[in-house]
Structure 1
Amino acid sequence: MKQWTATGTTIDEAIESALEQLQTSRDQVNVEIVDEGKKGFLGFGTKPAIVKVSIKKNPVQDVETFIYEVAEQMGAPVQVKTELRQREIHMELVGEKIAMLIGKRGQTLNSLQYLAQLRVNRESDVFYTVMLDAEGYRSRRKDTLQNLAKRLAERAIRTNQEVKLEPMPSYERKIIHSALQNNENVETDSAGKDPRRHVVIRPQ
């Protein structure tokens, strides 16, 4: 039972009635007031208050279900380990065909992460950030990007020309910026618009 419509002499009474039927608490539900009701006079013209109470979706369970369904449809079923850290949902995917979910340079994984974040925030009162990883891919990718940043910075200095990197999601661009923030011989900037936004390395 996910939703219940209840009546009462007051809105609060109607809500309490619905909570009892749903066997939950006030902080776990969304309340829609259908009719505020009317007290009437001497018992005449009285109208009950009507509310529609629905249980809030659990963001973690909802996004896990989404990942399971998509992976199954792609022919790459997975197991998911999820950890909620305040407003960040960290998910680690494990499976025999995990490469299909990572894709070339993590493009499939990035797309899946983007869709998962849209899914979890579509009906939420607060914003959640979804961080999706697959058998440690993000850590390996971070090492690759840091090495790439240093190599391209050396090229920019050697040729005295700016170097443009391939388009990347924001958190990957941050890795590039962080890797070079203490290099006094270059500066970095982001250019273009998503999904073509990229990092530019310029010699100083």
Structure 2
Amino acid sequence: MGYVEIEVRAKTVDLAVEAAMQELGVESREQLSVEVIQEPVKGFLGIGGQDAVVRVKRRQGRRRSRSRRKGGSKQATAAQSRGNRRREGTKSAKNRPDRRRAKPAPASSKTPKRTERPVSDDRPEADIEEQARVVEDFLTGLVDAYGLEGSVGVTWDDGVILADVGGEQTEALVGARGATMIAIHELTRTVLQRHTREPARLRLDIAGYAQRRRQALTIYAEQLIEQLMAEGGEIMLEPMSASDRKVIHDVAAAHEGVTSYSEGESPGRYVVLSRVAAEDSNSEEE
């Protein structure tokens, strides 16, 4: 009996087995022998994850050979016995009493009533100082969980929590074009929402990336507005996050004769800069 063996890597064990089935041309998982070499490990925000690795064997089927036997006397005996069984079955059927099917039980006419209970919000009301402590504790635990050396500073101003994660090693939490930092921002907001009914607005900066990003976007927007004033018309920017779009809107609002607005759905939402009459200029801020 021969075997065909392969190793497959995928996000989960089930996906790895499905890929092996397609590669081996197998329709049923029962035809395979699966050995898990490595269980998948989930990373945090896309960092530190590992795929599952399985070793899959396909057992080659063994052909069965059927031998035909000649024997007229045995075939005749078998046919005679089958005929006797049919006749006996006919006789016994005639002697059986008539069977009647019972009437199905009547269905209940009463339908159960659904009682809707009001959902109570048991989250406490926390002031901005307490919310700032929640943010600081979460971000400090996050930095420690990664084993990074860094500091977490949290302040608040005009109802907005300002969180700053500093340190050279914390740049690992920024990610490509700030993708990881955006994910951490959303995760921190979720933690706030679970601790209080009315969470405050949150601004997060890691390793100074948000500040550098705002400066670069401000220069970029100024250049586009200068081009717009010279050529007229409209300029459509690339899709941006909500915080980046706000920087563009703020820059446009500081210029007369320029308006800005956002179009599209996240994550493909983008800003459009348009030249208008000075008295009609306004910007849509988010």
Indicate whether the TM-score tops 0.5. Answer: yes
**Residue aligning to 1:137:** 209
Which TM-score applies when normalising by structure 1?
0.61
Q: Name the CA shift for 1:150/1:84 in 2 (closer, same or farther; >3 Å).
A: closer
User: Matched residues, percent identical?
Assistant: 28
Q: Which moved more, 1:111-120 or 1:184-193?
A: 184-193
Contact 1:87 1:127 in 2 (8 A): no
**Residue aligning to 2:167:** 95
Bigger relative contact order (CA 8 A; separation at least 6): 1
Matching of residues 34-49 of structure 1 within 5 Å:
none
The one of 182, 197, 201 equivalent to 2:269 is 197
Cα distance in 1 for partners of 2:223, 2:124 equals 52
Cα distance in 2 for partners of 1:202, 1:84 equals 35
Task: State yes or no: 1:63 paired with 2:141.
Answer: no
Structure with higher Rg: it is 2
Normalized per residue, which structure has more strand? 1
Cα distance in 2 for partners of 1:167, 1:71 equals 30
1:23-69 CA-partner distances (Å, limit 9, x unpaired): xxxxxxxxxxxxxxxxxxxxxxxxxxxxxxx9988433332232233
* Runs of 4+ in structure 1 over 4 Å off: 54-58, 157-161
- In the alignment, residue 153 of structure 2 is paired with which amino acid? K
Which TM-score applies when normalising by structure 2?
0.46
Equivalent residues, number = 152
- In the alignment, residue 220 of structure 2 is paired with which amino acid? L
Task: State yes or no: 1:83 paired with 2:191.
Answer: no
Q: Name the CA shift for 1:76/1:166 in 2 (closer, same or farther; >3 Å).
A: farther
**Residue aligning to 1:172:** 244
Matching of residues 109-128 of structure 1 within 5 Å:
109-128=181-200
**Residue aligning to 1:151:** 223
Q: Name the CA shift for 1:63/1:183 in 2 (closer, same or farther; >3 Å).
A: closer
| RMSD of aligned alpha carbons | 2.9
Shift of 1:100: 1.4
Uncovered stretches (5+) of structure 2, i.e. residues with no partner: 1-122, 277-286
- In the alignment, residue 125 of structure 1 is paired with which amino acid? R
**Residue aligning to 2:260:** 188
- In the alignment, residue 252 of structure 2 is paired with which amino acid? L
**Residue aligning to 2:279:** none
